[in-house]
Amino acid sequence: MKWIAGLLCVSTMTASVVFASVTFAEDQLALKTLDLSGVIAEALARNPEIQAARQQWEAASKRVPQARSLEDPNLSIQWWNAPESFNLGRAQNTIIGLAQKFPFPGKLALKEEIAIRSAEMTEQALRARERDLTARVKQAYYDLFFAHKAIQIHHEQVDLLKQFLEIATAKFRTGKGTQVDVLKAQVELSTLYQRLPVLEQQRDTAQARLNTLVDRDPRFPLDAPQAPREGRFDKDLEELYQIATTARPELKAAELAVRRNEQSRALARRQYYPDFNVAVQRFQNFQANDGFGAVVSVNVPFAFWTKSKYDAAVHEAAAGIAAARADLHTLENLTRFQIRDLVARVRASWEVAVLYRTTVVPQAEQSVEAARAGYRTGRTSFLDLIEADRALREFQLAYWRALVDRETRLAELAQVLGTEL
């Protein structure tokens, strides 16, 4: 029997060492955190939406040299008085011509400017998508943090409830408690065990969402995210609006749309002026001397039977300017409202977090300790002890939820401003 006891002692010591090693490894792993700035940089580099937007910008940029280029020249060959056998080698006259169309001065320059504005608008659309992706990455990042925190608090609640179960069991064995309290603790503990897979699934979903934004396998393992920042947000509303007017991509794109429509109207007015066609020709005649010739022709856009279409183009461009200006004004108003609304939400979330941290959570902790002490002495029911513990965990989660909501609102505010805070 002694050797069995010795073996059990050695086994227990070995298990303790292994458990301690595993616990140390888990603690070391827990010390590793997921860097938010690195995740954002990786998402901007890998996300397929951003890659598609970059290609669209590249395509729009390549339209600029096309817009400022002349049309292709025309090469023509004419044969006159060919025999009925259509033997071109016996034709009596041959004319070889080369023609080039030259737009009225200023038209090509305006077309180039319109193409440049379109490319710049596409670039701002890319910047807007980058800001949107950054905001979504931040939201997914802090959702993952909250999922990790919920699991951590859940484990703390399980550990505390195990202590309650030990207290209830000890009181029952000594005749100072009831079996009902023991059963209540066991049922509550079983309920917590059933809740854990749900929390783990929420964590896996948050992790998959973040991985998807970075264009990685949804099951790719991630370290625990960093905790949200704390502190008051005291920036002035007017200062924030001035930042948005110079940095928000959507506002820049709306301003560019106004300029592009103004240039489109200028181009429409230029269409009243004729374009020129210049051609040079060489004549070959079998009965006379060869020679050269030139032809200059112009279109007639001011003819009364065609002028109406040019008038309509000018009116169309003018309507486009009015619409673009209205869109810009609408976006300016929306930006001002969004800044005011989001700043209010950021400040409210911080006030809620401060309330939980300084008042509610400490009071809930005191309530748990008082309930535990009261239950030991028989002055408090076991149900009161469980309810106090539930309230504490709910308040702890509410505190972290307030901080996560604050980070989410800050991410949305940075998107509206077009720059990081």
Pairing of strands 93-102, 224-225: unpaired
Q: What is the pLDDT of residue 10?
A: 34
Over residues 360-392, the pLDDT tens digits come to 999 999 999 999 889 888 888 888 888 999 999
238 has a pLDDT exceeding 90: yes
19 has a pLDDT exceeding 60: no
Strand runs labelled E in 183-275: 224-225
Region 247-264: mean pLDDT is: 97
155 has a pLDDT exceeding 80: yes
Region 205-209: mean pLDDT is: 96
Region 163-179: mean pLDDT is: 85
Q: What is the pLDDT of residue 21?
A: 36
Q: What is the pLDDT of residue 407?
A: 96
Domain membership of residue 281 (yes or no) is no
12 has a pLDDT exceeding 50: no
Domain membership of residue 85 (yes or no) is no
293 has a pLDDT exceeding 70: yes
Domain membership of residue 169 (yes or no) is yes
83 has a pLDDT exceeding 60: no
CA distance 9 to 377: 37
Residue 24 pLDDT class (50, 70, 90 cuts): very low
Domain membership of residue 409 (yes or no) is yes
Q: Which residues pair with 292 in a beta bridge?
A: 282
As a residue count, the chain comes to: 421
CA distance 126 to 56: 8
Q: What is the pLDDT of residue 307?
A: 81
Quote the number of domains for the chain: 1
Q: What is the pLDDT of residue 178?
A: 84
Strand runs labelled E in 243-322: 276-285, 291-298
For residues 276 and 302, the model is more confident at 276
268 has a pLDDT exceeding 90: yes
Domain membership of residue 166 (yes or no) is yes
Domain membership of residue 198 (yes or no) is no
Residue 86 pLDDT class (50, 70, 90 cuts): low
- What is the percentage of the chain residues whose pLDDT exceeds 70? 87
Domain membership of residue 15 (yes or no) is no
Would you say 145 and 128 are in contact if contact means Cβ atoms under 8 Å apart?
A: no
Domain containing 314 — which CATH number? 1.20.1600.10
Q: What is the pLDDT of residue 408?
A: 96
Would you say 99 and 296 are in contact if contact means Cβ atoms under 8 Å apart?
A: no
Q: What is the DSSP string of 123-191?
A: HHHHHHHHHHHHHHHHHHHHHHHHHHHHHHHHHHHHHHHHHHHHHHHHHHHTTSS-HHHHHHHHHHHHH
Region 69-84: mean pLDDT is: 75
Domain membership of residue 185 (yes or no) is no
Cβ-Cβ contacts under 8 Å for 225 (sequence gap 6 or more): 33, 34, 36, 141, 142, 144, 145, 148
291 has a pLDDT exceeding 70: yes
Burial classification of residue 60, based on how many CB atoms lie within 10 Å of its CB (0-12 exposed, 13-18 middle, 19 or more buried): buried
For 186, what's the count of Cα atoms within 13 Å in the CB-facing half-sphere?
A: 6
Residue range of the domain that includes 318: 32-75+104-148+160-177+203-275+306-417
Q: What is the pLDDT of residue 5?
A: 38
Pairing of strands 93-102, 33-34: unpaired
